[in-house]
C-alpha cells in the first residue's frame, strides 16, 4: 500500500521534522541502517536548500513499489528565485550561501535517482529516489 | 532558549550531542563552546556524537569550525563516537572532515587529548605538525 505525506519547510525546526518523517518512511520501506542514513542525510541537505535558497517550500514523501522492489521518493518544491546555472550548482564546493557547497551534489550521490528542474524567478523542484 | 550542555572536566570541555540538532542550535553550540574555552582556558574539547543519527554538510561545517576556532584559542578538539552508517554516508556525501581529529570512543578521545596537550614533549610535536601544515598550504 502506498503511503504519501506532504510537509511544509518553513523553519530549521521543520528540517528536523522532515528528517524524522523520512527516517520513518525509510524504516517502513524496509531500508537497512546505512540506506536509512543516506536518504535521511540527502533529505536534510535538500530541505535546508529549500529553506535557505528557496525561501521555504514543501516536500512530498512517497513510498514506491515497482515489480519486486520498494523505494522512497522525495519531491522538494519551492517558489524561490530558482537556479540560473544548475550544472554549477551541482559542483562540489560551489555555494552562493554560507555553506560548504556539498548539499546538492552530495544529495545526488546519496540517491539512486536524481532530477532537478528550476526556472529563474519561479522556483525549483528536486526529486530523489532511493531503492531498497 | 534551548542549549546543548557543555561540561567541564579538569582542563577539558565535554559535549555530548544527544538531540537531533536544528541548525540554529548547532550555531549556538559553536558560539557557546568558543566562549567557554576563553572563560575556562580549557586546552581540550571532546565532542561525543555517538547519538547523532546523521551528520550532514551543515553539521560537518559546524564541527570543522569548532575545531578551527578552538585551535586558534590553543585548544585541541576531538570528535568521538561516530556511528558506522554515519561515516559511510559522510564519505559518499563528499565530506572528509579535514582538520577534525576523531577517535572511536570517549575513552580513546580523552587519551588522544591528553597525549596531544599533556606532556611538554608533545608541544614540540604539535609545533612541528603546525609547520608541516603551513608548508603544505604554500
Q: Look-up: residue for cell 581529529?
A: B101
Query: Is B64 inside a domain boundary?
Result: yes
Kindly tell me if the per-residue pLDDT of B122 is higher than 50: no
Any CB–CB contact under 8 A between B28 and chain A? Answer: no
Q: Which fold has domain A4-131?
A: Heat Shock Protein 90 (3.30.565)
Q: What is the mean pLDDT of chain A?
A: 93
CB pair distance less than 8 Å for B89 and A38 = yes
Look at residue B53 in the predicted model and tell me its pLDDT: 95
- With residues binned 3-state (H G I as helix, E B as strand, rest as coil), the percentages for chain A, rounded to 5, are 40, 30, 30
- Is B1 a domain residue? no
Radius of gyration of chain A (CA): 14
Cell numbers linked to A2: 502506498
Contacts of A21 in chain B (CB under 8 A): none
C-alpha to C-alpha distance for B51 and B132, rounded to whole angstroms: 34
B121 CA to centre of own chain? 23
Q: Which residues does chain A have within 8 Å of residue B22's beta carbon, measured at their own beta carbons?
A: 12-13, 15-16
Residues B34 and A71: their CA atoms lie apart, in Å, by 43
Q: What is the pLDDT of residues B4-37, one digit of tens each?
A: 999 999 999 999 999 889 999 999 999 999 999 9
- Does residue B94 sit at the A interface (CB-CB below 8 Å)? yes
Give the whole-angstrom CA distance, residue A5 versus residue A26: 13
**Residue B119 in grid coordinates:** 606532556
For CA atoms A63, A7, A58, B83, give the dihedral sign.
negative
User: Is residue B76 a part of any domain in this protein?
Assistant: yes
Query: Using CA of residue B88, residue B101, residue B54, residue B96, what is the dihedral sign?
Result: negative
The angle, 0 to 180 degrees and rounded to 10, between the axes of the packed helices A12-29 and A33-52 is: 150
Give A44's contacts in chain B (Cβ within 8 Å). 54, 56, 58
Q: Determine the residue among B19, B56, B88 to mutate to test chain A binding: the one whose Cβ has the most chain A Cβ atoms within 10 Å.
A: B56
- Which of A12, A41, A99 has its CB closest to that of B24? A12
In a domain, B45, yes or no: yes
Mean pLDDT of A73-78: 98
The gap between the terminal CA atoms of chain A, to the nearest Å, is 16
Assess B23–A contact: CB distance below 8 Å, yes or no.
yes
- Using CA atoms, how far apart are residues A30 and A63, in angstroms rounded to an integer? 11
Model pLDDT, residue B118: 65
| CATH at B124 | 3.30.750.24
For residue B49, is it within any domain? yes
- Beta-carbon separation of A110 and B20 below 8 A: no
Residues 45-64 of B with CB under 8 A from A: 53-58, 60-61
The domain locations on chain A are 4-131
Question: Could B93 and A48 be called an inter-chain contact, meaning their C-beta atoms sit closer than 8 Å?
Answer: no
Return the beta strands (E) in chain B as ranges. Answer: 6-9, 12-16, 44-48, 76-80, 101-103
Greatest Cα-to-Cα distance within chain A, rounded to the nearest angstrom: 42
Nearest Cβ partner for A34 among B61, B85, B95: B85
| Mean of the per-residue pLDDT values of chain B | 87
Residues 6+ apart with CB under 8 A from B66: B29, B30, B33, B34, B45, B47, B77
Instruction: Give the count of domains, chain B.
Output: 1
Q: What is the pLDDT of residue B44?
A: 95
Interface check A40 vs B, CB under 8 A: yes
DSSP state for residue A11 in the 8-state scheme: S
Residue B89, in any domain of the structure: yes
- Name the pTM for this structure: 0.87
From A12, A37, A102, residue closest to B89, measured CB to CB: A37
Among candidates A38, A40, A99 on the partner chain, residue whose Cβ is nearest the Cβ of B58 = A99
Q: What confidence score (pLDDT) does residue A1 get? A: 81
Q: What is the DSSP string of A50-103?
A: HHHTTSSEEEEEEEEEETTEEEEEEEEEE-SS--S-HHHHTSTT--SSSS-S-H
Residue B91 makes CB contacts below 8 A (sequence gap 6+) with none
Task: Determine the structural domain holding residue B123 and report its residue range.
Answer: 6-137
Task: Tell whether B87 is covered by a domain.
Answer: yes
ipTM of the assembly?
0.89
In a domain, B10, yes or no: yes
Amino acid at each position: 500500500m502506498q503511503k504519501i505525506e506532504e510537509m511544509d519547510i518553513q523553519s530549521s525546526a521543520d528540517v528536523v521534522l522532515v528528517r524524522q518523517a523520512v527516517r520513518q518512511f525509510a524504516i517502513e520501506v524496509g531500508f537497512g541502517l546505512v540506506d536509512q542514513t543516506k536518504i535521511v542525510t540527502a533529505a536534510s541537505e535538500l530541505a535546508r536548500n529549500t529553506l535557505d535558497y528557496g525561501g521555504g517550500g514543501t516536500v512530498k514523501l512517497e513510498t514506491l513499489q515497482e515489480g519486486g522492489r520498494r523505494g522512497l521518493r522525495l519531491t522538494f518544491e519551492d517558489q524561490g528565485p530558482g537556479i540560473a546555472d544548475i550544472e554549477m550548482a551541482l559542483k562540489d564546493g560551489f555555494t552562493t550561501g554560507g555553506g560548504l557547497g556539498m548539499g546538492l551534489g552530495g544529495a545526488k550521490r546519496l540517491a539512486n535517482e536524481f532530477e532537478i528542474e528550476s526556472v529563474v524567478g519561479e522556483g525549483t523542484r528536486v526529486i530523489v529516489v532511493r531503492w531498497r | 532558549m534551548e542549549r546543548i550542555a557543555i561540561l567541564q572536566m579538569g582542563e577539558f570541555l565535554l559535549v555530548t550531542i544527544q538531540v537531533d540538532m536544528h541548525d540554529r542550535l548547532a550555531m549556538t553550540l559553536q558560539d557557546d563552546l568558543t566562549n567557554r574555552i576563553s572563560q575556562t582556558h580549557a586546552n581540550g574539547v571532546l565532542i561525543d556524537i555517538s547519538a547523532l543519527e546523521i551528520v550532514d554538510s551543515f553539521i560537518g561545517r559546524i564541527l570543522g569550525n569548532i575545531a578551527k576556532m578552538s585551535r586558534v584559542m590553543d585548544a585541541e578538539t576531538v570528535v568521538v563516537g561516530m556511528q558506522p552508517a554515519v561515516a559511510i554516508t559522510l564519505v559518499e556525501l563528499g565530506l572528509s572532515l579535514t582538520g577534525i581529529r576523531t577517535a572511536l570512543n570517549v575513552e580513546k578521545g580523552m587519551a588522544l587529548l591528553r597525549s596531544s596537550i599533556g606532556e611538554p614533549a608533545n608541544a614540540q610535536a604539535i609545533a612541528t605538525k603546525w609547520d608541516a601544515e603551513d608548508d603544505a598550504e604554500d
